[in-house]
Structure 1
Amino acid sequence: MECLDTGGHPEPGEADAGMAARVWQGMYTLVLERHDRRKAVADALGMSFSRVRALRRLAAGPITLRELAERLTADPPYTTVIVDDLVRRGLAERITNPADRRSKLVHLTEEGEAKAALATGILATPPDALLALPPEDIRALDRVVAKLLG
């Protein structure tokens, strides 16, 4: 029986929910266990992954420390420690916020931008097993992931 409040699609049953749980666990295993790029990117850049995440968030442009903390889902004192380390490494600097001269923005230096780009390249490299799939399977995965991301 079809349910109208789900856009005309049948309501998921227990079997569908079980399959969805199995798919979710499989995605977790693939991305975060078998092909986790966090260690590779941390080793390549010589810093913890939390610093790599900060670099990548800052690559979009200068932001306040508070905004960075929100984007990292970290508390401001810990974010300050991360930014201090990035500044010490010459990858970021604090500049006066032109919209509010009482506050500072954090932005990447040229070297920081290069490291952020390197990190993005490492993290975006698909594993060999994905590249080995037939093109129609990759297209199907692309459609499904795009739909899940909304």
Structure 2
Amino acid sequence: MAASRTDPLTFEVVELIGTVVARYHAEYEQAAAKHALTGTQARVLALLAVEPTPMRRIAQRLKCEPSNITGIVDRLEARGLVERRPDPNDRRVKIAAATEEGRGTARRLRDSLDFAREPLAQLSEEERRVLRDLLQRMLGVEGR
């Protein structure tokens, strides 16, 4: 039976998800500030530390305007954390990539985020797998 919006259990789950998200964002902002970054700059850097990405795709992933990403990448580039490269497949497209220093900063930032890690450590591997699978299903995302 599908959950209704007014179902008390659904309301409780929504409230708990909201609390988790709010606590995660607060900690993320604090961790970013320790590296003299805004939360958005830290998210862009984290994304670029995984793989070089076209500017337009960064904007799509973060659900913001491409002009905002340009300013963020400008500031990260001025600090030596990011560099711009031409796309080898289309030289009109600029790809942003984390520098070695940027990847190190992103790693230190990620390693300092305890809020998400500590509660998850209390769950067994199977429980974490079930939670991951349920969250992916909620978001309509197939396993990555």
- TM-score bucket of the superposed structures, by smaller chain: 0.7 to 0.9
Could you say what secondary structure the match of 1:47 adopts? coil
Q: What are the equivalent positions in structure 2 for 1:63-142 lying under 5 Å apart?
A: 63-123=53-113, 126=116, 130=119, 133=122, 139-140=126-127, 142=129
Deviation, 1:94, is 0.7
Distance 1:52 1:69 in 2: 14
Deviation, 1:111, is 0.4
Could you say what secondary structure the match of 2:84 adopts? strand
What TM-score comes out, normalization by structure 2 length? 0.78
Larger Rg: 1
Could you say what secondary structure the match of 2:37 adopts? coil
Q: For residue 28 of structure 2, what is the amino acid of its counterpart?
A: R
Distance 1:146 1:80 in 2: 34
Distance 1:49 1:35 in 2: 8
What TM-score comes out, normalization by structure 1 length? 0.75
Could you say what secondary structure the match of 2:53 adopts? coil
Please give the root-mean-square deviation of Cα atoms over the aligned residues, in Å.
Answer: 2.7
Deviation, 1:90, is 0.3
Q: String of CA shifts for 1:2-43, please: whole Å, max 9, x gaps.
A: xxxxxxxx344677x221211220232134138832222122
Deviation, 1:131, is 6.5
Matched pairs, number: 137
Q: For residue 146 of structure 1, what is the amino acid of its counterpart?
A: D
State the partner residue of 1:33: 23
Does the CA-based 8 Å contact 1:37-1:122 persist in structure 2?
Answer: no
Identity %: 28
| 1:61 corresponds to 2:51 | yes
Q: String of CA shifts for 1:25-80, please: whole Å, max 9, x gaps.
A: 02321341388322221222111001001001112211111111111111011110
Tell me whether 105-114 or 33-42 shows the greater mean CA deviation: 33-42
Gapped runs of 5+ residues in structure 1? 1-9
Gapped runs of 5+ residues in structure 2? 138-144
Could you say what secondary structure the match of 2:112 adopts? helix
State the partner residue of 2:133: 146
